[in-house]
Amino acid sequence: MKTTSKKAILLVAFGTAVPSARAALDNIGEHIRSAFPDVEVRWAFTANFIRAKLARQGELIDSPVTALAKLMDEGVTHVAVQSLHMFPGYEYHDLENLVQRLAGGSRRDGSKFRFQRVVVGKPMLYRESDYREVSEALQALLPDEERAVVLMGHGTEHSSFAVFGCLNDMLRRQNDRIFLGTVEGYPTIDDVMADLQKTAHRAVTLVPFMVVAGDHALHDMIGNDPESWKSRLSAAGYDVQADMRGLGEIDAFAQIFVQHLQEAMAALQPPTLVTE
């Protein structure tokens, strides 16, 4: 008996409850729907507290577990799960582990609680080529005038924290006006300010190095608290401006996720047998 295949795409983000930040996810979704017009596209957020807050506001967004279960119940057989995370940290590896538990075989092996095939698309920064592509795209964010750009990344305690130091080194080799720091990890804002002090730059544009410009961008980056990055840089005598776009709002970064999803969609296909 021939099994009919049915494909779907599941986009998985940490999520945001900041209305203005949703523009980044909307832009990524538009790029993906344009690239795959004939495939059902669904969303899931990994952050429980964000889903709970949105639910209180009347918007229900599934967790990855729930979203995948619904797709399975609807008869979907092949799923490309695209991570919309910045790097392969805790959230990404949790997603991979979930998908692995739902893969590993076909329904024909006796289990009806499996997809025929499910593949996870890589986050924005995964391979060296991703770093180079991101680095090139970030050059376009430099203002025309001689302002430095300070990127605020989230950071992590995961072993993948080295992605920020690696990218910072790559960026600085291309342009001495770009500095990358993190809220939770290395490099810190102290590291950024120490590097800035070695230059003649006295004007800075803050940019969230995050898919969405959510709470961290609004509070840790440009908030009024004396410990925000804007407050600290201003107190040190810098002229501070901010570009409040999440990277997902910028087409070059959204397209990186499309490329990774294209690879995942290709991996959904069974290998072609070549016979002599």
Residue 115 DSSP label:
-
**Residue 137 located in a structural domain:** no
Q: How do the pLDDT tens digits run along the chain, 276 residues long?
A: 455 789 999 999 999 999 999 999 999 999 999 999 999 999 999 999 999 999 999 999 999 999 999 999 999 999 999 999 999 999 999 999 999 887 755 545 545 667 889 999 999 999 999 999 999 999 988 887 789 999 999 998 888 889 999 999 999 898 989 999 999 999 999 999 999 999 999 999 999 999 999 999 999 999 999 999 999 999 999 999 999 999 999 999 999 999 999 999 999 986 544 444
- Counted domains in the chain: 2
19 and 118, same domain (yes or no): yes
Domain enclosing residue 16, as ranges: 7-124+250-267
Same domain, 99 and 117: yes
Within a domain: 129: no
Which residue in the list 31, 85, 154, 260 is annotated as catalytic?
154
93 is annotated as an active-site residue: no
Q: Is 154 annotated as a binding residue?
A: yes
Residues 151 and 51 in one domain: no
pLDDT of residue 137: 95
φ/ψ bin of 59: left (φ > 0), alpha (ψ from -120 to 50), beta (otherwise): beta
Instruction: Find where tokens 């889903």 sit.
Output: 51
Task: Name the DSSP letter for residue 3.
Answer: P
pLDDT for 183:
95
> So what's the pLDDT on residue 274?
44
Q: What's the CATH number where 169 sits? A: 3.40.50.1400
Are residues 223 and 259 located together in one domain of the fold?
no
Residue 201 annotated in ligand binding: no
Answer yes or no: do 92 and 148 share one domain: no
Confidence (pLDDT) at 104 = 55
Q: pTM for the whole thing? A: 0.91
| 131: in domain | no
**Per-residue pLDDT at 272:** 47
Annotated binding residue at 40? no
User: For position 158, what pLDDT does the model report?
Assistant: 87
Do 23 and 111 fall into the same domain?
Answer: yes
DSSP sequence for 182-225: ESSSSS-HHHHHHHHHTSS--EEEEEE-SSS--HIIIIIIT-SS
Per-residue b or e along 138-153, where b marks 16 or more CB atoms closer than 10 Å to that residue's CB: beebbeeeebbbbbbb
Residue 209 placed within a domain: yes
Judgement on whether residues 48 and 116 belong to the same structural domain of the protein: yes
Q: Nearest-CA neighbor of 220 among 249, 252, 193, 188?
A: 188
